[in-house]
A and B are shown apart, each in its own frame.
Chain A
Amino acid sequence: MNVNVEEKLFQNRYRVDHGRPHISIIDAAVCATECRTQQCTQVCPANCYKAEGNGNITLITDGCLECGTCRIICDDFRNVNWEYPRGGYGILFKFG
């Protein structure tokens, strides 16, 4: 069974802070060369982390649900710089 998470995220309400992503990968080389498991690409509930196939990871935070999973499960290398978006930006839950 494959799941189209983009269809799910499209139902949510976001106010994207263009040009100011609130989460960033500290050192891309660590993902590419040292991290074998790359669990962020599987466990992020919004699938923001995508493996490019050549070891690199790209991060698009537009659909981020701000849960904090990536910061915590990247405990081997602590390679995620995680902050909340600017006030009023990011995910805006209609039901919560």
Chain B
Amino acid sequence: MEKFDAIVVGAGPSGNAAAYTLAKAGLSVIQIERGEYPGSKNVQGAILYSDALEKIIPEFRDEAPLERHIIEQRMWVLDDDSYIGTQYRSDAFNKAPYNRYTILRAQFDKWFSGKVSQAGALVICETTATDLIMDGSRVVGVRTDRENGDLFADVVILADGVNSLLAKKAGFHPELKPADVALAVKEILFLPQETVESRFNVKEGEGVVIEMLGKITKGMMGTGFLYTNNESVTIGVGCMLSDFKKERISPYLLLEQMKAHPAIKPLIEGGEMKEYTAHLIPEGGLKAMPQICGDGWMIVGDAGMFVNAVHREGSNLAMTTGRLAAETVIGLKQAGKEMKAPNLAAYRGKLDDSFVMKDLAKYKDMPGIFHANPQFFTTYPELVNQAAHTMLTVDGVDKKTKEREIVRSFTRSRSLFGLAGDAFKMWRAMR
């Protein structure tokens, strides 16, 4: 069997970014994808962040399948049948080159993979990588589920997604814990293009994104989302797997109840459901991050827990880690250096210099804080909604009394000391 400069396992954003960058630099690359074609096994909300892709394929806007560029972001805090929220819409977002897009991953990944093949990489689909091939402690190749399917290369880039089976089997990191990941379920609902545009008050190509938290997660730590695509909307909800395990709530029931919420139901009315998907999202942040490289191997994307959950950013970290890993390999190749751990560690340096490690470091305590403080997902949403309701109901009660009532509702449920503690924790976690 011939030997390659690099094997990339997986054709999601991180795998494609790595394979494309390597192939562009003239290295011999083979990429293994278990789906029928790249994208048929990949799930995401899905928002594309242009800056990460611009650094890989600057002219992507001319040919990539993009749904809508986002001009409005809504943040909702939901009670049982109400919500209070903020909204940011800017005409600046309506000026090309657009910053964020909604995409459909099955079509987008297939397009990206086409670029990877054009760049000269060998893309082999419908093939599942089952094990890493080791020579002592060094990774020398990948075993696949095909007859004489052992592949060998100087370096193996693991882009096989959140479950990261290969790294686990090789003992590079332990099994994920329920508190490290969130389980999200979502549906895509098809509506005529004009209906999407009239319901969200946008013109052709313009998109709206709604992020939600509160009662829709029934006390579990999690969020919901609603994204507008060209002629469909995607609606989903995700919570920490540890909470799902404890509460034993069925995710599809959670989704169905969310779709029935009075604020959401009219936005998706008459939509034709064409796909129901589920996916795990790395939420552990910096503290759950495994070893990211070793002799003959590197980890990129979700497999390395490279997700900034607080800002719901995943695909940009994936593409950036894929690119940086590839650039590290190219540097070593040109310098004639071995793909050994000490040399590959340069990858960590590149990550530290980039927004990837900076953001992950900034929010490293956030998962812990939210875990310990479910009130951010139950009590506060309720208090904030009721406060708004009290203030906005004109019933002859004087405003001073109303204010006192609102303050008492907060102190009664969280006590003065609790409120101060919560504020301090949020401040420290955001610092």
Contact = CB atoms under 8 A, between A and B. Distances in A.
Asked if A and B form a direct contact in the complex, defined as CB atoms under 8 angstroms apart, the reply is yes
Interface of A: 1-3, 5, 8-9, 11-12, 15, 37, 39, 42-43, 45-47, 65-69, 71-73, 75, 78, 82-88, 90-96
A21 to B, nearest CB: 15
Contacts of A69: 183, 241, 244, 278, 280
Contacts of A71: 163, 175
Given A72-B175, A87-B145, A88-B35, 19 more contacts: A1-B253, A1-B256, A1-B257, A5-B276, A8-B187, A8-B276, A45-B278, A46-B278, A67-B279, A69-B278, A72-B181, A72-B280, A73-B245, A85-B34, A88-B125, A88-B127, A92-B40, A93-B40, A96-B39
14 contacts: A1-B253, A8-B187, A12-B276, A37-B248, A39-B244, A47-B252, A73-B244, A73-B245, A90-B41, A91-B41, A92-B35, A93-B277, A94-B274, A96-B40
A91 B277 CA distance: 9
B233 to A, nearest CB: 12
B183 A92 contact: no
Contacts of B276: 5, 8-9, 11-12
B106 A43 contact: no
A67 B280 contact: yes
Contacts of A65: 277-279
Main secondary structure of the interface of A (DSSP, over half): loop
Contacts of B144: 87
A95 B40 CA distance: 8
Contacts of B130: 83
A42 B249 contact: yes
Nearest to B144: A87
Contacts of B177: 72, 75
A96 B178 contact: no
A66 B165 CA distance: 12
Contacts of B128: 84-87
Nearest to B279: A67
B273 A88 contact: no
Given A87-B125, A88-B35, A96 B248 contact: no
Interface string B356-379: 000000000000000000000000
Nearest to B103: A96
B2 interface: no
B279 to A, nearest CB: 6
Contact of B256 (A3, A67, A72, A84): A3
Contacts of B126: 87-88
A92 B106 CA distance: 9
A56 to B, nearest CB: 18
Nearest to A9: B276
B105 A93 contact: yes
Contacts of B277: 12, 65, 93, 95-96
Contacts of A45: 183, 185, 250-252, 278
Interface in B79-136: 104-107, 109, 125-128, 130
B163 A68 contact: yes
B36 A3 contact: no
A11 B189 CA distance: 11
A93 B39 contact: yes
B16 interface: no
Nearest to A46: B278
Interface string B32-61: 001110011111101000000000000000
A75 B178 CA distance: 8
Contacts of A11: 273-276
A7 B27 CA distance: 47
Contacts of B109: 96
B183 A67 contact: yes
A3 B273 contact: no
B345 interface: no
A15 B36 contact: yes
B162 interface: yes
B298 interface: no
A60 B383 CA distance: 44
A71 B245 CA distance: 12
